[in-house]
């Protein structure tokens, strides 16, 4: 079976990127280089040899952002694509940014009206804390506001024990959810993010900027509890009481970034001696949602560094990236089938064909956040011919979409009809049926 391959490339600069229904201009592929191009290529090669810094290196230097954070990521929340990264795979402690996972798990697996009882272990957590007391009960939803607005460490443990049965059980839920999301370099030990290590395996409570941005993206876009998560993290103040109504509490939102950019929609701060200042947040602008994760972004005396980095990365994303539709519609000619029986005539001397089409589930657009430098390549591969017999819905090719050389989407090309095989027995039966009474 031969194969027919069509490859088309689209350069980001040729796209009208400031509309979701952008039209891409096809880049012309030349198979033969004429003499003029050859001369220009020789000149370019000479320049590269003479001048050690090439154009691409200059471009990368111009794009480099000066960030305080030891590790940072700007992510497209919709696709999970890293749009900008600095040491994005370095494993580091993440302090109270951990609490976004604690919150989303409690929202997904817990009952917000349940009353959670305070254990001695929870009451003994270090500050920052709500100062709950052993034996008291609290409504789970109230504790989530304490967790996310004030970052109370004791509330995190009460939540974990109520939802997971124990801190260890809840940590298992956290690690499983991380794996489900696709975060394989994250390891949770505590629900509050306090520095911790497991002696038997030496692992510490840690993540990467890439994983942390992906967890936030899950919280604000994919989780079935995303609306509740956003409601809690956007609340500026909240009042509640304990189960008896005898103790009253007031919580204020300490995520200052919500007041720094109108596009800010969620976020969580964090600090421990080992982790330094950390932050994870989300911004939304004209249908685009970006998440940013910052790890080890300064220590005491540099508390504002995280806000500087957050603004810089958020603006970088909003100014540089716009949606473009990379979808292409394809119609295919019928594929000849060797030794096949023509479905229309049913004769042995007519060539048989199989109709084919893309199985895309009704997809009519593929919007992706792209910048001017991004390159999209669409590869269409189908069989030149098939051998009988052919089944209906048999895969005979693919349409593949590549973004900067990475496969981002693929659809199968399948047959629309079956084609029987023209065997010796079938020919004999055909002759007997046609010419004998």
- Cα torsion for 284, 288, 289, 290, to the nearest 10°? -100
Output the pLDDT for position 35: 39
Model confidence pLDDT, tens digit, residues 151-172 = 999 999 999 999 999 999 999 9
SS3 11: strand
Q: Quote the pTM value.
A: 0.82
**According to CATH, where is 2.60.410 located in the chain?**
335-435
Long-range contact set of residues 237-244: C-beta below 8 Å, sequence gap at least 24: 237/149, 238/142, 238/145, 238/149, 240/138, 240/139, 240/142, 240/145, 240/146, 242/132, 242/136, 242/137, 242/138, 243/115, 243/136, 243/137, 243/138, 243/139, 244/136, 244/137
Q: Within a 10 A sphere around the Cβ of 211, how many other Cβ atoms?
A: 24
Q: Average pLDDT of each block of 10 consecutive residues along the chain (437 residues)?
A: 56 38 31 37 41 38 80 97 97 98 98 98 95 98 98 98 98 98 97 88 94 98 98 98 97 97 98 97 97 98 97 97 95 94 78 93 92 95 95 96 95 95 80 73
CA-CA distance, 392 to 415, in Å (whole number)? Answer: 5
Output the pLDDT for position 276: 97
Answer positive or negative: Cα dihedral of 327, 333, 338, 344: positive
SS3 356: strand
Output the pLDDT for position 428: 81
Output the pLDDT for position 39: 36
Output the pLDDT for position 434: 74
Q: Regarding beta strands 386-387 and 335-338, do their DSSP bridges make them parallel or antiparallel, or are they unpaired?
A: parallel
Domain 71-321 has CATH 3.40.710.10: yes
Output the pLDDT for position 427: 75
Alpha-helix residue ranges (DSSP H) falling in 110-190? 120-123, 140-145, 153-164, 167-181
Output the pLDDT for position 10: 56
Q: Six-digit token pair at 397?
A: 């090719």
**Assigned fold of 335-435:** Peptidoglycan synthesis regulatory factor (PBP3), Domain 2 (2.60.410)
**According to CATH, where is 3.40.710.10 located in the chain?**
71-321
Model confidence pLDDT, tens digit, residues 98-116 = 999 999 999 999 999 999 9
């Amino acid at each position: 079976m031969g194969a027919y391959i069509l490859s088309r490339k689209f350069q980001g600069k040729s796209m009208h990127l400031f509309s979701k229904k952008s039209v891409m201009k096809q880049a012309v592929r030349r198979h033969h280089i004429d003499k003029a191009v050859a001369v220009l290529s020789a000149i370019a090669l000479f320049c590269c040899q003479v001048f050690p810094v090439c154009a691409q290196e200059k471009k990368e230097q111009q794009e480099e952002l000066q960030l305080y954070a030891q590790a940072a990521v700007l992510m497209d929340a919709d696709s999970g694509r890293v749009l900008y990264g600095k040491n994005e795979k370095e494993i580091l402690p993440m302090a109270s940014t951990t609490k976004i996972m604690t919150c989303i798990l409690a929202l997904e697996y817990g009952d917000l009206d349940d009353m959670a009882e305070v254990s001695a272990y929870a009451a003994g957590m270090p500050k920052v804390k709500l100062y709950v007391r052993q034996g008291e009960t609290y409504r789970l939803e109230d504790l989530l506001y304490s967790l996310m607005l004030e970052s109370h460490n004791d509330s995190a443990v009460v939540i974990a024990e109520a939802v997971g049965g124990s801190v260890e059980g809840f940590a298992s839920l956290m690690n499983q959810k991380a794996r489900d999301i696709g975060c394989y370099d994250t390891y949770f030990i505590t629900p509050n993010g306090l520095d911790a290590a497991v002696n038997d395996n030496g692992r510490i409570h840690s993540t990467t900027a890439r994983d942390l941005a992906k967890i936030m993206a899950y919280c604000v876009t994919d989780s079935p509890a995303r609306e509740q998560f956003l409601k809690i993290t956007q609340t500026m103040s909240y009042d509640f009481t304990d189960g008896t109504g005898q103790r009253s509490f007031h919580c204020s939102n300490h995520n200052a970034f919500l007041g720094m950019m109108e596009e800010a929609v969620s976020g969580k701060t964090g600090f421990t001696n080992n982790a330094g200042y950390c932050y994870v947040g989300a911004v939304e602008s004209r249908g685009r949602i970006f998440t940013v994760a910052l790890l080890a972004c300064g220590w005491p005396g540099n508390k504002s560094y995280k806000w500087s980095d957050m603004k810089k990365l958020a603006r970088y994303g909003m100014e540089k990236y716009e949606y473009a539709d990379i979808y292409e519609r394809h119609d295919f000619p019928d594929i000849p089938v060797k030794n096949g029986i023509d479905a229309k005539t049913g004769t042995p001397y007519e060539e048989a064909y199989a109709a084919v089409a893309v199985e895309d589930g009704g997809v009519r657009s593929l919007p992706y956040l792209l910048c001017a430098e991004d390159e999209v390549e669409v590869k269409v591969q189908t069989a030149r011919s098939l051998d009988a017999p052919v089944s209906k819905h048999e895969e005979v090719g693919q349409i593949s979409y590549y973004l900067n050389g990475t496969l981002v989407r693929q659809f199968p090309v399948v047959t629309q009809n079956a084609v029987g095989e023209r065997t010796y027995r079938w020919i004999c039966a055909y002759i007997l049926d046609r010419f004998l009474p």
